[in-house]
Amino acid sequence: MKPILKFEQVSKNYPNGVHALKGVSFEVQEGEFISIIGPSGSGKSTLLRAINRLIPISGGTVWLDGQPVSAQRGRKLRELRCKAGMIFQNYNLVYSLSVLQNVLHGRLGYMWGVKGVFGMYSEEDKQEALDLLEELGLSQFAYNRASDLSGGQKQRVGIARAIMQKPRLLLCDEPIASLDPSSAKTIMDLLHSMTQKRNIACIVNLHQLDVAVRYSTRIIGLSKGEIVFDGAPEDLDDSAIERIYGTSRENLMMGGNADDKEDTAHCA
């Protein structure tokens, strides 16, 4: 089976001399639920943003749905980005618009010319957006301003918007870092159930080790820009944790720091 995503010796060097990724190689199959874990500065956010070229890579090749991402330009890049929906820690919603309008933004990458500029969505798209809000328990908020929602509700809108893209891959950058434990569990449950139901591959950057173990079919551990673990959650033993974090599991349970955040844009 052809992988939906393939990293082939991918490296990323920043102008300040930081080597964020060093010869990273892995493949992702349809329907996998993968957590990327590692300490701050290990390269998690860089890896995620390299997938749809929100940042350019320095070497190697990222293949998305069989196409080399770095070779795409203009409309071709836009079309390819729509195959990878994104969910952000800070939600990236348009707060002056309604919840329904924010969800419909997931279709913008497929709209051209006047329709895209003026958001002239089809009745089919509107119904699909309403159905997604129903599935996420937000149908009663469809016409509320996005700014009126709680953090957990805003993240559910972010999930709906990403699913509206009809992606083959969902990229989630610290999706629960800003949420309380109850909201975080709701978001992880929804991410897991909605991607599994639709056979969408999902990659989640996480700081919470216990969450990664609970939800993932596979865990990738990064340390200083290199993959030092790639396997099933049950294989993440104490020695693997030591390789990833440079400290023991007990120390990690006391909490960790969040990565530096970067603003990004969806496929449109």
Share of the chain above pLDDT 90, in %: 82
Residue 181 maps to a domain: yes
Burial (CB < 10 A; 0-12, 13-18, 19+), residue 93, is: buried
State how many domains the chain has.
Answer: 1
Residue 214 maps to a domain: yes
Q: Which domain holds residue 15?
A: 5-89+157-252
Residue 130 maps to a domain: no
Hey, which residues does 171 pair with through a beta bridge?
86, 203
User: Is the overall model pTM greater than 0.95, yes or no?
Assistant: no
Domain harbouring 12, CATH code? 3.40.50.300
Residue 111 maps to a domain: no
Residue 194 maps to a domain: yes
Q: Across residues 128-150, what is the average pLDDT?
A: 97
* Dist. CA 226–CA 229, nearest whole Å: 9
What pLDDT, in 10s, does the model give residues 10-64?
A: 999 999 999 999 999 999 999 999 999 999 999 999 999 999 999 999 999 999 9
Residue 9 maps to a domain: yes
Of the candidates 26, 52, 43, 54, the one whose C-alpha atom is nearest the C-alpha of residue 226 is: 43
Residue 18 maps to a domain: yes
Residue 146 maps to a domain: no
What pLDDT, in 10s, does the model give residues 149-207?
A: 999 999 999 999 999 999 999 999 999 999 999 999 999 999 999 999 999 999 999 99
* Dist. CA 158–CA 176, nearest whole Å: 12
Q: Across residues 117-133, what is the average pLDDT?
A: 87
